[in-house]
């Protein structure tokens, strides 16, 4: 072997070693990045009974990259009477019947030491809601009792007084309504407020309460 060929081969070997050393120093011998956190979505979704929703888990790694890790996570539901979730695929299936709508469950995804959650609400399609009160002309300090009746998909009305969210246009008349009951505040004589109820995205027609 000539001296020139020997030198060329030696130079080539050194170049390979230098490239390998650089790769090891920069990439840790190309070690896979470590998962540092995951996000879960979509969150805050409302679906009707019997419907399904695909959850997605996105992982963030220590090198700044992201990837879909849905199939690598262990999925659980905090309330399986509201909705279940596939342990390995993140697919949410709502219960066919919700006794006291709306029902809300927390969906959790775990991948190693990383975890995160998202909420899912299950509520039937509200087609009508009627709001009544024992009086619309109370006096100061009177207790007013409201009743909310809702129809789901054309079915007979159901009492949903304890499930709705109450909306008060003038909080100088009622500071709050709990369980359908609100106390008229002192000093509100002559004032009025509109009260409505919301359930599953449906808001009733407002009642006007005028304090005598």
Gap between the Cα atoms of 212 and 208, Å rounded: 13
Per-residue pLDDT tens for 5-23? 555 565 555 555 555 455 4
Distances (CA, A) of 95 to 88, 159, 201: 19, 20, 19
| C-alpha neighbours within 13 Å on the C-beta side of residue 144 | 27
Per-residue pLDDT tens for 184-194? 999 999 999 99
What does the pLDDT read at residue 4? 60
pTM above 0.85, yes or no: no
Residue 30: pLDDT band (50, 70, 90) is low
What does the pLDDT read at residue 50? 95
Per-residue pLDDT tens for 31-41? 789 999 999 99
Distances (CA, A) of 89 to 30, 47, 96, 145, 155: 29, 19, 20, 46, 34
Residue 157: pLDDT band (50, 70, 90) is confident
Least confident span in 17-31, 37-51, 60-74, 109-123: 17-31
What does the pLDDT read at residue 92? 98
Gap between the Cα atoms of 95 and 73, Å rounded: 23
Torsion of CA 92, 77, 124, 100, to 10 degrees: 170
Measuring CA to CA, which residue among 178, 48, 167 is closest to residue 103? Answer: 48
The CATH number of the structural domain formed by 126-210 is 2.60.40
Gap between the Cα atoms of 166 and 179, Å rounded: 9
The CATH class of 35-122 is mainly beta
What average pLDDT does this structure show over 131-139? 98
Per the listing, tokens 């959650």 go with 117
What does the pLDDT read at residue 25? 47
What average pLDDT does this structure show over 102-124? 95
Distance of CA 80 to the CA centre of its chain: 15
Gap between the Cα atoms of 51 and 72, Å rounded: 24
């Amino acid at each position: 072997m000539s001296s020139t060929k020997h030198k060329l081969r030696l130079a080539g070997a050194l170049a390979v070693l230098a490239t390998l050393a650089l790769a090891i120093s920069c990439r840790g011998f190309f070690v896979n990045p470590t998962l540092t956190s995951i996000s879960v979505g979509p969150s805050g979704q409302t679906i009707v009974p019997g419907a399904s929703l695909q959850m997605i888990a996105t992982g963030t790694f220590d090198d700044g990259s992201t990837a879909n890790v849905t199939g690598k996570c262990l999925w659980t539901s905090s309330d399986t009477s509201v909705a279940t979730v596939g342990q390995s695929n993140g697919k949410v299936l709502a219960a066919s019947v919700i006794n006291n709508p709306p029902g809300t469950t927390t969906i959790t995804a775990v991948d190693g030491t990383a975890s995160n959650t998202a909420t899912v609400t299950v509520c039937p399609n509200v087609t009508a809601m009627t709001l009544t009160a024992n009086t619309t002309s109370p006096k100061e300090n009177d207790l007013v009792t409201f009743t909310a009746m809702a129809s789901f998909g054309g079915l007979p009305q159901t009492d949903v007084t304890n499930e709705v969210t109450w909306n008060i246009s003038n909080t100088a008349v009622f500071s709050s309504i709990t369980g359908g009951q609100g106390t008229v505040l002192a000093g509100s004589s002559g004032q009025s407020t509109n009260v409505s109820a919301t359930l599953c995205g449906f808001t009733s027609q407002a009642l006007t309460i005028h304090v005598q």
